[in-house]
Amino acid sequence: MSGMHGAGSGSGGRGGGGRRISGGDVEAQRAENAEAPRIPHLLGRIAALFASHRRPLAVTVVLVLVGAALSVIPPLLTQRAFDEGLFPQSGRPDLPRLALLVSLMLAVFIGSALLGVWQTWLTATVGNKVMGALRVKLFTHLQAMELSFFTKTKTGIIQSRLQNDVGGVANVLTNTISSVLGNTVTVIAAFVAMLLLNWQLTIVAVVLMPILVIAQRRVGQVRARIASKTQESLSDMTAITQETLSVSGILLSKSFTRQKTEIGRYADENANQVRLQVSQQMSGQWFFAMVNIFLSSIPAIVYLVAGWLVTNGTTDVTAGTIVAFTTVQARLMFPLLGLMRVALDLQTSSALFARIFEYLDLKPAIVDAPDAVELGPNTTDRVSGRVEFDHVVFRYPDAGPESRATLHDVSFVIEPGQFAAFVGPSGAGKTTVSYLIPRFYEVSAGRVIFSGFNVRDLSQESLVSRIGIVSQETYLFHATIAENLRYAKPEATDAELESAARAANIHDTISSFPERYETVVGERGYRLSGGEKQRIAIARVLLKDPEVLILDEATSALDAISERVVQAALDSASRGRTTIAIAHRLSTVVGADVIFVVESGRIAERGTHAELLERDGVYARLYSQQAASPASVEAG
């Protein structure tokens, strides 16, 4: 749908084999790759991208071979036109013979042009399909990456890989095969034709070729390094744009009057990009200038050598031979120049391909087990909606094995239908608990059990399908209210939308809008108030109809009036399901069936509101603080 894209829920199951790179290691890995040799099988991997297009590629190969063969015919016809039509041994032009040869030349030109159009269409179609498939493959792979990858990698850098890097290899994907094959065949055919015409002149024409090949290799290495730096600069520019020109970013810069700072930051990176672009374009200009001088000089040198050979009686060279030879020589040099350009493009694009394959080679830290269990609508012999933590230890993937764990030996059970609340100081580990239940992160030790199954044994998709999450930071797409609601259930009817909206106490508000459910909410829902956005998010979760509902500080950012309205919607949403609330304000969870007090990554206390007050511990202290100054002291 317009304005929407997959949000991704991570990926599930046991960790797979192979090297893993977390989001925090991506830039370090890129730096490592920059110093290492290029990917050994880079050309093989590029060729593998074309595997599903064998038939059109086979037709392209035939067209290239025929076109290359036709390209050397006109020079040979030119020789005969000179020697047999214009200047025959009889001394008078043979017009019928000349007309026949010219007609053949015209037929070859027309045939070559038609074949060229067909070939261009085929290569453009295949190349762009391959590029599109590569972009989708990269996007699909990124959807499978764990949550920590995205928390440590700038969104703008990811966008740059998808757009700038894949777009940067478009020319290689669309033109390389036909260019390499066609130019190679043309060069071979032209070289053979030159030898047939005169072997001495052929030696003169190709004697300096090895020097050009060596120079081309050196230029390609320089351009590859510049191309890598150029793409890194583009990534930084994309990141700056994404951060500063989003609604949140522009509000922040305007609120702190930092527009000039952001403009300066963008201008500095833009100046760096301009410098790199100029360097990239100029890096090969001296080489191609030298090549052009060489190509332009060859005919003159051939004339001189031919005159010397005739004068000394070394060979018998006719005028037709000289004209044909210089024509064929051009047929040799320009395809050879094309091959050099392709080689330069490949060397330049190798940096971009390396960046693309670098992301494709990332191993998701969380994957489904080969025998992962799919949770069906009615799981036999299991208690649906039961959540248990069994001696769970957790540290964030980028923290390192020696770092302090976020959760320490956490154990608890939440029975089906219970309303459980997690409270405690900021940074205690409450939100981390909510991330481990849908397996957005992998536990370091212990087990998370959902409906009787270790979450490692469940498929990620079926696990997350049973869980609904309402977070503090509500995300709405720049689309209509109906489209945002149907993100949870694409096939939902209008009646189902209205029912969910009524349950979330937002239907009347939506009905007051001129376009009702077709109202566009704006970027991240900025056309709506915080309470309205949150209630739409609740309605979206209700459409999903999960067995377990996780409320991650869902009302902490709202004013008192909005909080009461949203809290009423949450109370309605939690009926008949297991509900886990990460509480910011303790007043919202006093009626919970069980309250877990988290402190320093451990369950410090557990019990009902009354029991915990009577115990006069951490919870009682936090509650008294909020009761004395609810606006100034937060427990979450």
Tokens of 34: 């920059």
Quick one: pLDDT band at residue 433, thresholds 50, 70, 90?
very high
- pTM recorded for the entire structure: 0.66
Mean pLDDT is lowest, of 173-182, 210-219, 226-235, 535-544, for: 210-219
How much is the average pLDDT of 473-500?
Answer: 87
Q: Tell me which amino acid residue 224 is.
A: A
Quick one: pLDDT band at residue 33, thresholds 50, 70, 90?
very low
pLDDT of residue 23: 39
Strand order in the sheet with 594-599: 467-471, 548-552, 578-582, 419-423, 594-599, 602-607
Per DSSP, helices labelled H in 402-559 are: 430-436, 460-465, 481-485, 494-503, 507-511, 530-544
* Cβ atoms < 10 Å from Cβ of 284: 20
Which numeric CATH code is attached to 417-427+469-628? 3.40.50.300
How much is the average pLDDT of 274-300?
Answer: 72
Q: Is the pLDDT of residue 411 over 90?
A: yes
Grouping H, G, I as helix, E, B as strand and the rest as coil, residue 422 is strand
Residue 57 sits at φ, ψ, to 5 deg, of -70, -35
Higher pLDDT residue, 239 or 507? 507
Residue 601 sits at φ, ψ, to 5 deg, of 80, 10
pLDDT tens digit string along 166-191?
Answer: 777 776 777 676 677 777 777 777 77
- Enumerate the domain spans of the chain: 23-360, 417-427+469-628
The Cα 74–Cα 70 span in angstroms is 8
pLDDT of residue 152: 78
How much is the average pLDDT of 487-508?
Answer: 87
Q: Is the pLDDT of residue 104 over 80?
A: yes
pLDDT of residue 300: 73
pLDDT tens digit string along 70-101?
Answer: 877 887 787 788 777 787 777 777 788 888 88
Instruction: Look at residues 326, 149, 257 and name the one whose alpha carbon lies nearest to residue 317.
Output: 326
Q: Is the pLDDT of residue 413 over 80?
A: yes
How much is the average pLDDT of 588-595?
Answer: 86
* Cβ atoms < 10 Å from Cβ of 556: 15
Instruction: Check if the beta carbon of residue 72 is closer than 8 Å to that of residue 148.
Output: no
* Cβ atoms < 10 Å from Cβ of 40: 8
Quick one: pLDDT band at residue 301, thresholds 50, 70, 90?
confident
* Cβ atoms < 10 Å from Cβ of 411: 12
Higher pLDDT residue, 587 or 285? 587
Instruction: Look at residues 472, 492, 473 and name the one whose alpha carbon lies nearest to residue 482.
Output: 492
CA 325, 326, 329 angle in degrees (round to 5)?
Answer: 85
DSSP-derived letter for residue 581 is E
CA 539, 5, 496 angle in degrees (round to 5)?
Answer: 25
Mean pLDDT is lowest, of 337-351, 352-366, 446-460, for: 337-351
Q: Is the pLDDT of residue 27 over 50?
A: no
Fold annotation for 23-360? ABC transporter transmembrane region fold (1.20.1560)
pLDDT of residue 286: 66
pLDDT tens digit string along 243-256?
Answer: 676 656 665 666 56
Higher pLDDT residue, 549 or 397? 549
Q: Which residue has the tokens 């833009």?
A: 270
Q: Is the pLDDT of residue 338 over 60?
A: yes
Higher pLDDT residue, 238 or 540? 540
Residue 576 sits at φ, ψ, to 5 deg, of 80, 10
Mean pLDDT is lowest, of 344-348, 458-462, 583-587, for: 344-348
How much is the average pLDDT of 329-345?
Answer: 71
Instruction: Check if the beta carbon of residue 205 is closer than 8 Å to that of residue 364.
Output: no
pLDDT of residue 387: 92
Q: Is the pLDDT of residue 36 over 80?
A: no
pLDDT of residue 240: 77
- Rg (C-alpha) for the chain, rounded Å, is 35
Strand partners, 419: 579
Sequence-separated contacts (24+) of 87-95 with Cβ below 8 Å: 87/319, 87/320
Q: Is the pLDDT of residue 22 over 60?
A: no
Q: Is the pLDDT of residue 464 over 80?
A: yes
Quick one: pLDDT band at residue 457, thresholds 50, 70, 90?
very high
Strand partners, 471: 552
pLDDT of residue 250: 64
CA distances from 434 to 96, 149, 234, 438, 583 (A): 91, 18, 36, 8, 12
With a CB cutoff of 8 Å and minimum separation 6, the contacts of 598 are 422, 423, 424, 428, 429, 430, 433, 604
